Amino acid sequence: MTRFHAGRHVLPEPDRAQVVTTALGVESQTAAFDPVRPTAPPDGAPNVVIVVMDDLGFGTSSAFGGPCAMPAADALARGGLRYSRFHVTALCSPTRQALMTGRNHHSVGMGGTTEMATSAPGYNGFRPRSAATLAQILQGNGYSTAAFGKWHQTPPREISAVGPFDRWPTGEGFDTFYGFMGAEMNHWHPLLYDGTTPVEPTRRPEDGYHLSEDLADRAIDWVRTQRTLTPDRPFFTYLAFGASHAPLHVAPEWQEKYRGRFDHGWDEQRARTLAQQKQIGVVPADTELARWADNVPHWDELSETQRRLASRFMETFAGFTEHADHQVGRFVAALEELGELDNTLFIYLLGDNGASGEGGIEGTTVEHRLGHGIVDDPEAMLADLDRIGGPETYPIAPVGWALALNTPFQWTKQVASHFGGTRDGLIVHWPAGVPDGGAVRHQFHHVIDILPTVLDCAGIPQPTTVAGVDQQPVEGTSMRYTFADADAADRRRTQYFEMCGNRGIYHEGWMAVTRHGIPWEMIPEGGRSFSDDVWELYHVDTDFSQAHDLAGDHPERLRELQDLFLIEAAKYNVFPLDPRVTERENPTLAGRIDLLGDRQSVTYRGGMRRFTEETTPNVKNRSHSITADVEIPPTGAGGVIVAQGGRFGGWSLYCAEGRVRYAYNYFDLVHFIVGSDDELSPGRHEVRMEFHYDGGGHGLGGDVALVVDGTKVADGRVEQTIPYYFSFDETLDVGVDLGTPVSEDYPAVDNAFTGTVHTVRIDLDGPTPPSSPAEEAQRRQRVYVSQ
């Protein structure tokens, strides 16, 4: 039986009483003072490593029968346990919040991603202090803690130089953090944080830089330092890769390893993966492929151009995935070198949701287009075939591959109703505590079970109070009971699932589900009621893949499960259901608090940088102006005065050859440029860009005027604008364009303004207009665009 230290229920550990001073001078003090000591970890507590891959899907990795070679995962599985019925939520932030807290995602305010937060309690994006994180608990029990990579749990409006920082990694229990904040990141040109300080890599892609390698380097360096300085303290390392979430960025040599290996297509790949899954024992021998998603073409229905593109997208995905796993292998090797691997509880989560179908039918070289209802023309994409995966693209693969990577299940990421969205491979490796290396475990478990499992293995109780706040119950259950007993009865008998209105309920081997939306149709059809959704019923104890809908055969059981869903959903803050996706990524449309409130004017000073979209005025869908107070040196000026976004969407006010220009980049499809013919003379000037929006809806055009010292020097037209978001990974920067460049009219790097930017003021003209029903109907149409 695990023994818990009596004082570990209250964190941080209360101060101990000191010996009373009895003398004026130290030479006369008779009673010895106790030195102040940090909280000691439990005797024999293991190190803890949690590695999270992004957007993989159950049938992706070689460890679970998939086509992507993952040697590190294979090696850890040979020495540990693979879990065949492990579940996550159907999106990034909710899974990570549930993992860190041991509570269901709606219980801790993360009903969607942080960018999709609303004001509803289950969806507000704010972790309650009554749900302390795993890092806080381990830190309070004497562990050294560090996080590297993706952190997607901080409210976007708090990601700025002024915080607050209590919901950043270093405020949620990690001593060290190095990585990125948000859904995704450009792996060639990342914008990172060291703690809470913005940093950029000192190396570039042409120097061999890649983010996945950088993260592994940092994790290895930290563990080596920790073992050198504090070998008596166990460590907790959280390593969360951006791979294999879009953008699919990897060097050509990793793609080349897979060249031609997916030309057989996604239908055949499903069959091959299922056969391999049966052979290695991660699915029962009688498992069938679940049905194919409606309206997704089979491989033989594609044109030759579509097949060539799809193969290249999948080659890129596979190379990206193997490359990331290679970094995990480097980290494992470092633990072995230090002699720490045997006493490290190593949890390798092969995905935070199912593989992503957000790439649509064709895939895209620029992901943000699909989020706005724009579909690339395959013939136009073919011209970029050899650039896919490189710095000039921001790709995501077609949905057909997502369905194959989720073999043998139905559907994809976002779809919480079916296992294609919620089941991922899990590997637990702990030689000191797992006696059955190489085995498979089939108990039904959920990501909320990771926290109690770690605490159980470390001999640490679930705290009752953390930082003076009483804790709400942990909703997960420890998985340790499965380590030594393959036939142990399930201890997770009930689990609800919900995301974007898609919902399901598991109870004692049965599962009732209903799908409300389609992930690759990012703007859902209006007018559909949740009460109109059709429910399905599966006996998943005998039908592993949800291949046979029994709703018509067992209507009474279906009704019982529907009622149980209502009970569980009410208990965990799931209501009201909200099917919106892209619209919720705009704070105004989502109804959440806007950091800038009703402010119609914001002034920046020269040198201010790294403002995310939720920490800047929203210039989309409205008239606005940009006014800069600049000083031109005698030699003339060039470079960026202010820019927002990057290569795949945004705007920039800059000087080229001494002339002021304004560029609007519409998803790297059309670059609108308005520029003056006259050079700015040396001295101080007011440079102003006035944007007169057409009005009447979202994403429309507008007229542009450039004014210098009160005189109009140029005018022009922007025919289309970006309605919802410019980018998840780029920022607004004054005096420079960080990350990737908005315009090719200036260098991608070293584009800082060569004069002086004193101030930049953004003025907004009126509120964002509401969308009309006709406009939204038009946006739901899938229209090809050429590049």
- Whether the Cβ atoms of residue 573 and residue 107 lie closer than 8 Å to each other: yes
Please tell me whether the peptide bond between 576 and the residue prior to it is cis, using omega within 30 degrees of 0: yes
Lowest mean pLDDT among 93-97, 349-353, 435-439: 435-439
Same structural domain, 194 and 287: yes
From the number of C-beta atoms within 10 Å of its C-beta (0-12, 13-18, 19+), residue 38 rates as exposed
Tell me the sheet residues that pair with 199. 192
Q: By residue range, what is the domain housing residue 151? A: 47-486
Tell me the sheet residues that pair with 45. none
Q: What is the pLDDT of residue 526?
A: 55
Backbone phi, then psi, for 630, in 5-degree steps? -125, 160
Report the C-alpha gap between 483 and 81 in whole angstroms.
8
Percent helix, percent strand, percent coil in the chain, to nearest 5: 25, 25, 50
Tell me: pLDDT of 596 over 80.
Answer: yes
b/e map 569-583, b = 16+ CB within 10 Å: beebbbeebbbbbbb
Same structural domain, 746 and 775: yes
Q: What is the pLDDT of residue 786?
A: 36
The H or E element that residue 150 is part of is strand 144-151
Lowest mean pLDDT among 10-24, 112-126, 621-635, 649-663: 10-24
Report the C-alpha gap between 648 and 727 in whole angstroms.
8
Final residue belonging to a domain, choices 430, 457, 486 = 486
Report the C-alpha gap between 41 and 46 in whole angstroms.
10
Tell me: pLDDT of 503 over 90.
Answer: yes
Task: State the average pLDDT over residues 394-401.
Answer: 98
Report the C-alpha gap between 631 and 628 in whole angstroms.
10
Dig out the tokens for 740 from the structure.
């990737």
Task: State the average pLDDT over residues 240-251.
Answer: 98
DSSP code at position 198:
E
We report the CATH number of the domain holding residue 508 as 3.30.1120.10
Tell me: pLDDT of 29 over 80.
Answer: yes
Tell me the sheet residues that pair with 494. 507
**pLDDT class for 773, splitting at 50, 70, 90?**
very low
Same structural domain, 275 and 152: yes
We report the CATH number of the domain holding residue 774 as 2.60.120.560
Final residue belonging to a domain, choices 554, 585, 616 = 585
Tell me: pLDDT of 98 over 80.
Answer: yes
Lowest mean pLDDT among 744-753, 762-771, 774-783: 774-783
Same structural domain, 101 and 234: yes
Same structural domain, 136 and 185: yes
Query: What would the pLDDT profile of 402-429 be if each residue is shown by its tens digit?
Result: 999 999 999 999 999 999 999 999 999 9
Dig out the tokens for 416 from the structure.
């919480």
User: Does residue 501 lie within any of the structural domains?
Assistant: yes
Q: What is the pLDDT of residue 778?
A: 46
Tell me: pLDDT of 223 over 80.
Answer: yes
User: Does residue 33 lie within any of the structural domains?
Assistant: no
Nearest CA to 727 out of 579, 593, 585, 626 is that of 585
Nearest CA to 622 out of 712, 701, 714 is that of 701
Helix, strand, or coil (residue 17): coil
We report the CATH number of the domain holding residue 416 as 3.40.720.10
User: Does residue 24 lie within any of the structural domains?
Assistant: no
Domain count, the chain: 3
Tell me: pLDDT of 367 over 50.
Answer: yes
Report the C-alpha gap between 30 and 73 in whole angstroms.
59
Same structural domain, 511 and 628: no
Dig out the tokens for 473 from the structure.
């119950």
**pLDDT class for 522, splitting at 50, 70, 90?**
low
- Torsion sign, CA atoms 135, 480, 96, 496: negative
Final residue belonging to a domain, choices 463, 486, 509 = 486
**DSSP output for 219-270:** HHHHHHHHHHH-TTS-EEEEEE--TTSSS----HHHHHTTTTTTTT-HHHHH
Same structural domain, 626 and 770: yes
What is the pTM for the complete model shown? 0.95
**DSSP output for 722-751:** -SS-S-SS--EEESS--SS-S-TTS-SSS-
Query: What would the pLDDT profile of 664-704 be if each residue is shown by its tens digit?
Result: 999 999 999 999 999 999 999 999 999 999 998 999 999 99
Tell me: pLDDT of 720 over 80.
Answer: yes
The CA-based dihedral angle spanning residues 291, 292, 294, 295, taken in that order and rounded to the nearest 10 degrees: -170
Same structural domain, 468 and 520: no
Percentage above 70 pLDDT, the chain: 96
- Whether the Cβ atoms of residue 396 and residue 244 lie closer than 8 Å to each other: no
> Which residues are CB-neighbours of 176 under 8 A, at least 6 positions away?
145, 146, 147, 170, 195, 222
Dig out the tokens for 362 from the structure.
């064709």
User: Does residue 20 lie within any of the structural domains?
Assistant: no
Q: What is the pLDDT of residue 766?
A: 64
Dig out the tokens for 406 from the structure.
């989720």
b/e map 252-283, b = 16+ CB within 10 Å: eebbeebeeebeebbbebbebbbebbbeeebb
Same structural domain, 575 and 701: no
In this structure, which amino acid lies at residue 397?
A
Same structural domain, 559 and 613: no
Tell me the sheet residues that pair with 229. none
Tell me: pLDDT of 583 over 90.
Answer: no
Higher pLDDT: 529 or 511? It is 511
Dig out the tokens for 51 from the structure.
């590695």
Same structural domain, 254 and 229: yes
User: Does residue 523 lie within any of the structural domains?
Assistant: yes
Report the C-alpha gap between 201 and 290 in whole angstroms.
44
Nearest CA to 178 out of 227, 234, 219, 138 is that of 219
Same structural domain, 402 and 467: yes
- Whether the Cβ atoms of residue 309 and residue 446 lie closer than 8 Å to each other: no
Query: What would the pLDDT profile of 152-207 be if each residue is shown by its tens digit?
Result: 999 999 999 999 999 999 999 999 999 999 999 999 999 999 999 999 999 999 99
Tell me: pLDDT of 1 over 90.
Answer: no
User: Does residue 480 lie within any of the structural domains?
Assistant: yes
User: Does residue 16 lie within any of the structural domains?
Assistant: no
Q: What is the pLDDT of residue 777?
A: 45
Task: State the average pLDDT over residues 495-501.
Answer: 97
Task: State the average pLDDT over residues 47-59.
Answer: 98
User: Does residue 567 lie within any of the structural domains?
Assistant: yes
Percentage above 90 pLDDT, the chain: 88
> C-alpha 48: how far from its chain's center?
22
